Amino acid sequence: MTRFFSFFICLSFFFVVSSNAHHSDASYDQTKTITLQGVVTNYVWRNPHVTIYVEAPDSNGDIAEWALEIGSTMIMTRSGWSRDLLKEGDLVQATAYPNRDPQDHDVMLINIQTADGSVYIQDESDYIGTSTTDSFEGVWKGRGSTIIEFSKAMSEASLTDKAALAKSSYDYRLHSPIAQCVPPPTPTWLRGMIIYLTEFDILDDRIIIKNEFFDNQRIIYMDGRSHPEAGERTNQGHSIGFWEDDVLVVDTVLFADHRSSFDRGVPNGSKKHTIERFYLNKEGNRMNVDILVEDPEYLAESWSGTMQLDYTPEYSIQEYNCDPEFAGFE
């Protein structure tokens, strides 16, 4: 079966989105493509990146081993791939974005064609379905069309001088917590929903929000408690929630330090504060998410954004199980 190439370039540090929400696409020149014809030497099915190693000629005609990187296992599974798709010795033709360093044979895969003519890609297209719901309970997937604007707004946020300096000096290989299998907090966490599924579990005293990316989990306390005055700062912060009619309002503080929690290279401050509002659309097939972010240390003024999720009951979330040995691979 031939799969047609379609993707959104949506998140800045993800291939981000486009690329895979965990590596920096800055290493690749997305204004050029290369074609490789060769033999598979290894097919690595693990997170954060599925990687195909192929022996093929380089620009000088010499045989080299190329590392073709693409998305995580759950993204590729939903794109029609499997751990048994390729094996050592398979003949393939691949199209990829080259590395900016011409001596580096690590590339970003666009599509790969097997000997029988089948073409496989990383499919990040929006979900198409007819299921509806009157509850947040269940599995959801972000809409690329709305996350594109969400990410654009993040990149245009008004930064403090300290944030601008941190952003300009940011080096993914040296500084990214993603490369250490440490997930991002909100609002960057929201952007990852374009390719990673999210599940809401509604309990009596709390709501648990699970996301596939790095097996991230947030607990929203719904029992009327306040934020602790001297509470522990954690990766996802301390969240309390309440209902305003059918709108779930989530207030979060006490975020731990994170080197790239907002736009690429913009850290968390100790006084970061977010307010998120989750609510269903009239038809019940989508969830709207509005967020307000205040961080006086790194944002010159408060920032707000909005995005949508599709209700996807046909899907189930998978475990990420990030491998730190490969998390920093680009």
pLDDT tens, residue by residue, 135-190: 999 999 999 889 889 999 999 999 999 999 999 998 877 888 877 888 889 999 89
Distances (CA, A) of 111 to 5, 20, 119, 265, 284: 7, 14, 7, 29, 35
Close Cβ partners of 282 (under 8 Å, ≥ 6 residues apart): none
Per-residue confidence band for 15, with pLDDT thresholds at 50, 70 and 90: very low
Q: Give me the CATH topology for the region 25-125.
A: OB fold (Dihydrolipoamide Acetyltransferase, E2P) (2.40.50)
Q: What is the pLDDT of residue 251?
A: 99
Contacts of 149 (CB under 8 A, 6+ apart): 307
Give me the mean pLDDT over the 22-37 stretch.
81
Are 318 and 73 spatial neighbours (Cβ–Cβ below 8 Å)?
A: yes
pLDDT band at residue 108 under the 50/70/90 scheme: very high
pLDDT band (50, 70, 90) for residue 216: very high
When pLDDT is cut at 50, 70 and 90, the band that residue 326 belongs to is low
Residue 25 pLDDT level (bands cut at 50, 70, 90): low
* Token digits of residue 134: 């009157």
* pLDDT tier for residue 124 given thresholds of 50, 70 and 90: confident
User: Which of the listed CATH numbers 1.10.760, 2.40.350, 2.40.50, 2.40.128 matches domain 138-311?
Assistant: 2.40.128
pTM: 0.84
Residue 113 pLDDT exceeds 60 = yes
The two tokens of residue 30 are 């997305």
Checking if the pLDDT of 229 tops 50, the result is yes
13 confidence band (pLDDT: 50, 70, 90): very low
**Residue boundaries of the structural domains of the chain:** 25-125, 138-311
Average pLDDT score, the chain: 89
- 260 close to 170: Cβ distance less than 8 angstroms: yes
